[in-house]
Amino acid sequence: MERPDGSAHEKIREPVNLIVMLIMLAGYALTFMVPKFYGATDRYVGVFVFGCLAFLFLNNVDILSLLQNSGKSRRDFFLLLALLLLTLINLLLVNSGLGAFFVTADFILIFYTAPYIRFSKQSILILSAAFFAVLMIWFFLAYPKLFADYAFYGYNTNTGATFTIYTLLTAFLFTMLLAEKYRLAELLMTILMVKGLQLALWHRARGAFIMLLVFMLLWFLVPKKWWRKKSFYYGVWTAATLGSLCFVALYIAVGATGVNFRLPFFYKDIFSGRDKIWYEFFTLFIKKPLTGIGTNVTIESFFEFNVHNAMYNFLVIDGILVFLGILYLIFRFAAHAFQYLTSPLSLCALTILLAVFFESFFDVDLIWADYSLNLLFLCVVICHGEV
């Protein structure tokens, strides 16, 4: 994707991008560290993120050039507009809460806009260092205070653990940059991994544990040269997206047999209710496959409306056509990202991103508005390198 150079706007484009993302980071830190802020802003964070992403879109995407271009770039631009419009129409048709629009729109804008955003290593260093600073404040100040008596807090320990691991993995990019100059940074990497593993197990947080474990597998165990093989690369992306729906179908089928067992280190059985939730959503979805069911629905299998799977969430809530459009944008991004994987930093960011995709087989952290900055930053870092 072409990113124009040489104009006066280009000189301030990157600083503006960095400022906007640092503002988003401030909101991210306050959300998880200040209980009153979390309670007061949780309903509006999707709108806030949409405003930031729309600003970044206008700052980085040359709309006039796209309209003058007769090729694939212009078609993709019109697809973006059509997808946003169709998402809104579907939700209105099923009388859905419009908060669902911002969930989908934010995700769409991130995967469309990220390849246009140019970040130098200096900007990546600044933002990853800011994530690292948030992590240190969380570890040594906020976390001991909040979870010494977390009964009053606005979210549960699973969410706290997921925030920790997601922030830790994003901050891992900072240690990657440090390791280019300082060997001691490798020790810091190890400490972060061990601490993250210990905390996920202490909280018995399955999602956070899976995110960290998948990252460690993809980054430390998978040979780097495999990522340059298109069959392996796109196979992993297919498993992370369509595989998520296959997992839902398999989980429902096995859960229906009545078999069950308790996971070691965790407090829940392997079949602890998601099979019933996912099956109920399926029975509702097949009645409205084109429009989706929206969010103005009460389900019997759980006390709140939560699909607990990111890809399934798009399919069930927004319908088949929107889901297919989202898949196209994901693989469009994957195709663009493939050319940058000779950069260790880009490859590391990719493995973190894919770890979040796989973790979201069980939850919706991939599409939760509170984590939008993490997702955007990872996508930008993946595409930062020179071909």
Give the tens place of pLDDT for each residue, 53-92: 999 999 999 999 998 887 899 999 999 999 999 999 999 9
Per-residue confidence at 176, pLDDT binned at 50, 70, 90?
Answer: very high
Q: How far is CA 362 from CA 7, 167, 311, 316, 368, in A?
A: 45, 19, 10, 15, 13
Residue 151: both structure tokens together: 């009964």
The SS3 call for residue 291 is coil
Q: Is residue 191 part of a domain?
A: yes
Q: Is residue 279 part of a domain?
A: no
- Whether the pLDDT of residue 32 is over 50: the answer is yes
Q: Is residue 348 part of a domain?
A: yes
Please state, in angstroms and rounded to a whole number, the distance separating the CA atoms of residues 148 and 125. 33
Q: Is residue 56 part of a domain?
A: yes
Place of tokens 């595989």: 243
pTM of the model: 0.94
- Whether the pLDDT of residue 304 is over 50: the answer is yes
Which residue segment(s) compose the domain that 340 sits in?
Answer: 8-244+297-382
The SS3 call for residue 7 is coil
- Whether the pLDDT of residue 385 is over 80: the answer is no
Query: 223: number of CA atoms within 13 Å, CB side?
Result: 5
- Domain total of the chain: 1
Q: Is residue 359 part of a domain?
A: yes
Q: Is residue 259 part of a domain?
A: no
Please state, in angstroms and rounded to a whole number, the distance separating the CA atoms of residues 35 and 149. 13
Say if CB 301 and CB 277 are below 8 A apart: yes
pLDDT at 35: 76
Q: Is residue 287 part of a domain?
A: no
Say if CB 278 and CB 306 are below 8 A apart: no
Q: Is residue 260 part of a domain?
A: no
